[in-house]
Chains A and B, each alone.
Chain A
């Protein structure tokens, strides 16, 4: 059956003018490579998203604490993460820390060094950065949990830890989900920055494809299309999640309302 499709495809191509056929052929051959790169991008997204958001929890908790030993470092951490471009952060990690680690003979000759390639540096940088951003979002959400619910929990005699686990966090997650979805889409876009430190994600693959073929528009527009598709899938997934989480409390008309656009994430 595949031969039949291949034949049809060739016939279709031969019917078109030379340049158009070449273009279509090129793009069709390009897509598998782009998808490979997209796969790495998604891996990066998932890894840094999960780790970063898990880290965001202690960051947010420290930030809302009244103890200065906790909230001051947390505040500074969040400030630095949101106040400096991600590009610089990733460079500090990969070239800066990497260079320093490379000088230490013990690290350099170890088994790990060969496998500590750019992907892990990128994942680390993104995770740390996400911890800062999500930490701030989570903090806002924690503060937005209705005080009445917390009072009621306390009246029941729940311990602090239990209140946190059963009342505050679930509510905070629900409240922050819309913003969080915007952040995750932003994280997908940010994975493109990993291309500057030789990670073979989608943008890097695109750059290489361009370098090999010198077809500028075809390569980059195809990549843009893949990103739009990925973004669309993520948006729908979050939309579905939001609907599920809020099923019990919002009228259908509100659930159908459009989401506002979030401000751009730090580069």
Chain B
């Protein structure tokens, strides 16, 4: 029997790994997107903590960003993936509930990756908030807007414009960090590639295809980010 051609190997069905790879790519994008969402929430909280006057909050947030900045993502992912359920259980117990919180691999991976992304978004948001001309907030205060109204109508929309480039960069990083999650075994793209490569011994081919998939995700993301940057800068005068 002739050896399957490369086109066949990528196809569907039992002999073709194409569907596994596509499914893996979809899982990867899912993990990255959810982790990114978690990271944005954490980033807003972290930036807020750094910007309040309170020393304690600042230190906690600073420790957070320093640790994520210094410790390899791989180590953080391994640690959080296996310890997050235990930590959450302790949290649940402290809050009085007794049920065993069960994090399936997907959620644990999202937690781990989100934790990492949060540290980077903290810095981006912090820089972006600081970049909004303070005069605007002062003016809003002067006409009697409440803190919530001020934040919602003045600060956040303006901040977005400064934050988008940084956030875009972080998204690109997230999609690639999602590959590390394969180490704690999730059914994502890298693992799909490993199985295909291991099954057919065609390592070079399949890992290259995996790289290509990531490249496609990156290029597509870059296009979207460029669009967003143009949109967020509409109406801004070119200096």
Contacts and interface: CB of A to CB of B under 8 A. Distances in A.
Contacts, number: 144
Contacts of A228: 66-67, 70-71
Contacts of A91: 193-194, 203, 207
A267 B215 contact: no
Q: Which of B67, B183, B207 has the most CB of A within 10 A?
A: B207
Instruction: Tell me the interface secondary structure of chain B in the complex.
Output: helix
Interface string B195-225: 0010001011101101100110011000000
Which one of A83, A192, A267 has the greatest number of beta carbons of chain B within 10 Å? Answer: A267
B25 interface: no
A203 B120 CA distance: 22
A216 B82 contact: yes
A85 B72 contact: no
B69 A92 contact: no
A216 B170 CA distance: 30
Contacts of A169: none
A84 B176 contact: yes
Interface in A66-95: 79-80, 82-89, 91-92, 95
Main secondary structure of the interface of A (DSSP, over half): helix
Contacts of B210: 88
Given A87-B179, A217-B83, A224 B75 contact: yes
Nearest to B69: A261
Contacts of B82: 216
Contacts of A191: 72
A193 B201 CA distance: 22
B211 A84 contact: yes
Interface residues of B, number: 51
- Contact-size category for A: 35 or more
A87 B177 CA distance: 9
6 contacts: A80-B211, A83-B218, A87-B179, A216-B82, A220-B75, A267-B178
Interface of A: 79-80, 82-89, 91-92, 95-97, 99-100, 185, 188-193, 195-196, 203, 206, 216-217, 220-221, 223-224, 227-228, 230-232, 260-261, 263-267
B173 A266 contact: yes
B204 A96 contact: yes
B116 to A, nearest CB: 7
A89 B211 contact: yes
Contacts of B79: 220-221, 224
Interface in B54-103: 65-67, 69-76, 78-79, 82-83
Contact of B120 (A82, A188, A264): A264
Contact of A260 (B127, B174, B204): B127
A203 B176 contact: no
B190 interface: yes
Interface string B32-59: 0000000000000000000000000000
B74 A195 contact: yes
Contacts of A79: 215, 219
